[in-house]
Structure 1
Amino acid sequence: MSYKLSICMMVKNEEIHIERCLESIKPIVDRTDVELIIVDTGSTDKTVSICKKYTDEVYFKEWFDDFSGMRNITISYATGEWIFILDADETMEKYDELEKFLDSEPNETLKNKTYSITGKNYTNLNNHDSYSIFPTMRLFRNDGNFRYEGTVHNQPRFSPPVGKLDIIIGHYGYVVNDKEIMDRKFNRTVALLEKELKSDPNNLYYLYQLAVSYNMHGEVRKSYEISSKIYNQFKKLDRDRQLMGFSVITNHLSNCMTLNRYNELIEASKLAINIRKDYIDGFYSLGRGYERLGNYSYAEKYYEKYLELCKNYEKLAISKDHSIALYRNNITDNMNVKLFLVTLYLDTEKYDKALLYLETLKYNISTIKLYISIFIKLKNYSEIFNLYEKIKDSDTEIISYFITYLENEILDLDFNEKKSIYNYFLNNDDEYSIYSNFMITDDLEVEKKCNLAKRIIDVKDRNNNDILVVPLSYLMLIKGFDLKLFSNMNKRVVFSCVNYFKENNYTELYLRLDEWLMNIDIRKLRIKEVSALKNLFESKLILLLNEYKGTGIKSFIKDNINMFDRYLEVGMIFINEIYNLNAITMKYELINDSESKFLFLMNIYRTNKSKGNTSVAFMYYKLAAQAYPDMADFLKEYIDIEV
């Protein structure tokens, strides 16, 4: 059978990648005019068995330390009119145009002998917006002349003319979490490069690949030593040779940036953009260098040029230059530059320019903050409400942050300004609407205000817990303390409430809190109420520690040791309920929360002390103090009294 396309791969021990790769090309391979050729060079894992699920054309050839030679062997099996080169750690993300190409008439496909596509080198497995981008030759006419050259980083030798197809492949080879695999690849590549450099020690391309290898392996200082040598040689070349070998200095920019060598970064970037006016990474690097040196006007100038080039990337000559990878033409870097510029324009009161960039970004915690800041500066309160309307059905975290940040930003505004903002939210049927009603209701309308406070507390599936603090505090000032009200609050909200009593003219309430806490009958409490009581005791003790910190006054420790003792008593009940200490044996190292670990260890301390195991008990006392250092002073006084 004659094929129109042969997809050629060489593989070795790629079980962590290969299935993802082959699944991505399955719609193409399932065509009757496409064959998949895989040459295995000595896998000892499951690579071969996985490959055989997708093709019968799996061949074996022992590795002989020559990437191009091995690549040429894979090509020799190809019977298709065209050859597509793919690696096991890649995926085909966009292939519509490849299918159109395969379905086109022969005279259409004969226009070019080689085609370039787009590659993405991912730099973070958890963030597909972070990548470098590069044009790469992957589709070649199978005319007998196409081959690869170069022992290590194999380069295709192809025939013109060259066209471009809108195909995207993603490369995952640089984000493998398996250190053993990465070390093996690194050692293999470095050994081959050093072998080549022995016979040609000043070969800039091999030096560049060596610097890249050390950079990707995390040895940035070693990479910098090599890239500096390359850069110094590169500067001495004539302009034509600089243009031809431009890619060899790109790694030097990355090294200078990572090592905070900003003056060197600026110097190298200026040379780079002088050679190539469309070098996107050069303008990004200049912006970054000047930003870090505090020269924001120059940072603004070069960042704006960077964004302009990114926007017009497809029209730039560099987009068709397969020898140059661009590391900064990606969503993450683009977003970070825009956020910097928005912040800069906000600080310099250029609000229109700030909004211009801000409106090109997705709604997230960073952008929500900036929108609110700008609208408050402009006193454009209706836009704050409009923003809320746009995001209210999105991620709960974003809604919560919106509310928290807005409340912090309007904290120092006078009541009339706050009321102007709250008025926009009154007619919504949600928690912030109720809260806004509460905040504009006069304190003299006690019953109405108390009812609104109860409604806020009773909201189920609440987006934001911070707005509980003021209504809860008001309710307790009017109605008195109620442990049940605290039982549905997390630790942070409880602390915020107690701190609010202390800091916001609720001094009487704050002083009454101690007596109320000490007189609660803990024998009648449910576990949620025990948890709330524990959180209240902890909050009060932490606030005391913060109040006297740095004053040299230690008497407050003795004065409040009974409260600490009560805190431990309640904490022991809680920890026994949560971890069921009578039924299980648990390693305290596995407990992440410092307070829970502290209480767990104090429980072991008490158990051993009651059995007369004094030395073991003392060991756990020391571990408890290490687990929760904030309580160490109280704990020392407590132990001294016990002894």
Structure 2
Amino acid sequence: MLTLSLCMILKNEEDVIKRCLNSVKDVVDEIIVVDTGSVDKTKEIVSSYTSNIYDFKWEDNFSDARNFSFSKATKDYIMWMDADEFLTDKSKERLIDLKKNLNKDIDLVTTETHMCMDENNNPRIISRRNRIVKKNRDFKWTGFVHEYIKGSGNVFDSDVSIIHDKIKLNNDRNLKIYKINIKKGIELSDRDLYYYGKELYCNGFYDDCINVLNKFITKNVWKEEMIDALSKIGECYLLKQEKVRARTYFYKTFEYSEPRGEILYNIANSFDEEGKYMQAIRWYEMILSLEIPTDCNQCINLCCCRFKPHLNLCVCYFKINNIAKSYYHHKKCLEINPNNVYVIKNEEFFNSLKNY
């Protein structure tokens, strides 16, 4: 059986770190914690799980901190986790099985990350990331923010999934780091330009995001990032209430890939908000004709593949007075997520109608 080091970087995570470590402590063979300046009880809590706690001076560079944590690991393989992540019992069993059966020729293991859990504890968003690496390959993290492991060799896509349940909002932390580096005169890589644009989007700087991502899409970049950048520009224009212009960017994504649920949803929703319900209905129904994607190398918004189209079709059909189809899509929502607040309200409404 392979041995596994868990490496973490932490700062002021007293609210979540116990949940994380309790979920993984019986699976890993050592826990390495690098603290970048906690002033709460984080280190005190962690000390009951491991003595391998190191202080690290924070200099606005996540990769430096993560590489330092990896340098302290002593086991065959290294796994990283964030404090607001944890393993379910099922994934814990799968990770144990992975330790028992992984081919020693494997250099890098990916896992799914499940985010934005719904009322039934199903993920609304999933992605796949490099999560476990062979120590003797000495893979390094790169990027001062939105860092990633630059690895190669034999890759294994595991069935382990990790839940990312964000409690503490970092707001403009990453955006500030980008601006600090830009002020230092550091030229952003294409990848940093992409994530800088997304941080501008997340913080509501839509015009700046449009400018940055329009620069990004002129470059020779990975297809998935091109599609996402075009979509983000479209979303900015939606938020600026420029729906026609927004749709031109969503349509451009079709030059790089087949139609995808999240992009079709944005197109449909733009018509929906304009009161063009028949156009919206056709786009929403197109989403339902697609298979749910399973390749999650980029984030997949599962809600846009089934639940949200059904929910909005329920409303659109009601708006054009087709109550039967409206109710049909409500029942679909009820099957997917009966505990959703909108579904509960719709159920009460339809129950109040005499014939449905």
Structure-2 change in CA distance of 1:361 and 1:27 (3 Å): same
Q: Secondary structure at the match of 2:221?
A: helix
1:17 corresponds to 2:16: yes
Contact 2:200 2:209 in 1 (8 A): no
Q: Do structure 1's residue 99 and structure 2's residue 92 form an aligned pair? A: no
Asked if structure 1 preserves the Cα contact closer than 8 Å seen for 2:315 and 2:326, the reply is no
Q: Which residue of 1 aligns with 2:292?
A: 312
The alignment of Structure 1 onto Structure 2 pairs a total of residues equal to 348
- Aligned counterpart in structure 1 of residue 265 of structure 2, from 256, 260, 284: 284
Specify the code of the residue in structure 2 equivalent to 1:144: R
**Whole-angstrom distance in 1 between the partners of 2:4 and 2:353:** 61
Partners of 1:368 and 1:259 in 2: CA distance: 31
The answer on 1:119 being equivalent to 2:118 is: no
Q: Determine the structure 2 residue equivalent to 1:47.
A: 42
Structure with more of its chain in strand, by fraction: 2
Q: Which has the larger radius of gyration?
A: 1
> Which aligned pairs between 1:65-80 and structure 2 lie closer than 5 A?
65-80=60-75
Counterpart residue number, 1:60? 55
Alignment of 1:195-206 (within 5 A): 195-198=180-183, 199=185, 203-206=189-192
Q: C-alpha separation between the residues in 1 aligned to 2:177 and 2:345?
A: 51
What is the root-mean-square deviation in Å for CA atoms of aligned residues?
3.4
Cα shift readout 1:298-343 (whole Å, capped 9, x = no counterpart): 323332333444x4311x4xx2x2xx323x323x874232022234
Deviation of 1:129 (Å): 5.6
- Structure 1 residue 298 and structure 2 residue 279: aligned? yes
Change (3 A) 1:143 1:234: same
Q: 1:18 to 1:135 in 2, by over 3 A?
A: same
Alignment of 1:78-477 (within 5 A): 78-93=73-88, 94-104=91-101, 108-110=102-104, 112-122=106-116, 131-173=124-166, 175-176=167-168, 182=170, 186-187=172-173, 189-198=174-183, 199=185, 203-216=189-202, 219-220=203-204, 222=205, 224-237=206-219, 241=221, 243=223, 245-246=225-226, 247-277=228-258, 279-309=260-290, 311-314=291-294, 316=295, 319=296, 321=297, 324-326=298-300, 328-330=301-303, 334-345=306-317, 347=320, 349=322, 351=324, 355=328, 358-359=331-332, 360-363=335-338, 401=348, 406=351, 408-410=352-354
Q: Partner amino acid for 2:308?
A: N
Mark the CA change 1:5 to 1:305 in structure 2 (over 3 Å): closer, same or farther.
Answer: farther
Report the Cα offset of residue 21 of structure 1. Answer: 1.6
Tell me, which stretches of 5 or more residues in structure 1 are unaligned? 371-397, 411-417, 422-643
For 1:255-311, what per-residue CA distance to the aligned partner results, in whole angstroms no more than 9, with x for missing partners? 3344433223211111123312254321221121222223333323332333444x4
- Please state whether the residue corresponding to 2:153 is helix, strand or coil: coil
The structure-2 alpha-carbon separation of the partners of 1:112 and 1:88, relative to structure 1 and needing over 3 Å to count, comes to same
CA distance in 2, matches of 1:205, 1:15: 32
State whether residues 83 and 141 of structure 1, in contact with CA within 8 Å, keep that contact through their aligned partners in structure 2.
yes
Quick one: structure 1 residues 120 and 369, their matched pair in 2 at CA, closer, same or farther if it must change by over 3 Å? closer
Q: Report the Cα offset of residue 16 of structure 1.
A: 2.0
Instruction: Give the superposition deviation at 1:72.
Output: 0.8
Whole-angstrom CA distance in 1 between matches of 2:238 and 2:159: 32
TM-score with structure 2 setting the length: 0.83
CA contact (8 A) 2:32 2:52 kept: yes
Distance of 1:25 and 1:350 partners within structure 2: 50
Between structures 1 and 2, the one with greater helix share: 1
CA contact (8 A) 2:313 2:329 kept: no
**Counterparts of 1:499-518 in structure 2 under 5 Å?**
none
Matched-pair contact (CA < 8 Å) for 1:338–1:357: yes
Letter in 2 for 1:98: L
1:3 and 1:54 map into 2 onto residues whose CA distance is 21
* Larger relative contact order, structure 1 or 2 (CA cutoff 8 Å, min sep 6): 2
Q: Give the letter aligned to residue 304 of structure 1.
A: E
Task: Quote the Cα distance in structure 2 between the aligned partners of 1:367 and 1:40.
Answer: 43
Report deviation, 1:10.
1.0
**Relative to 1, partners in 2 of residues 1:252 and 1:132: Cα closer, same or farther, differing over 3 Å?**
farther
CA spacing shift, 1:42–1:226, aligned 2, 3 Å? same
The residue type paired with residue 106 of structure 2 is: N
Judge conservation of contact 1:65–1:192 (CA < 8 Å) in 2.
yes
Instruction: Give the C-alpha shift of residue 233 in structure 1.
Output: 2.4
8 Å Cα contact 1:234-1:249 kept in structure 2: no
What SS does structure 1 have at the residue aligned with 2:137? coil
Write the letter of the residue equivalent to 1:58.
Answer: I
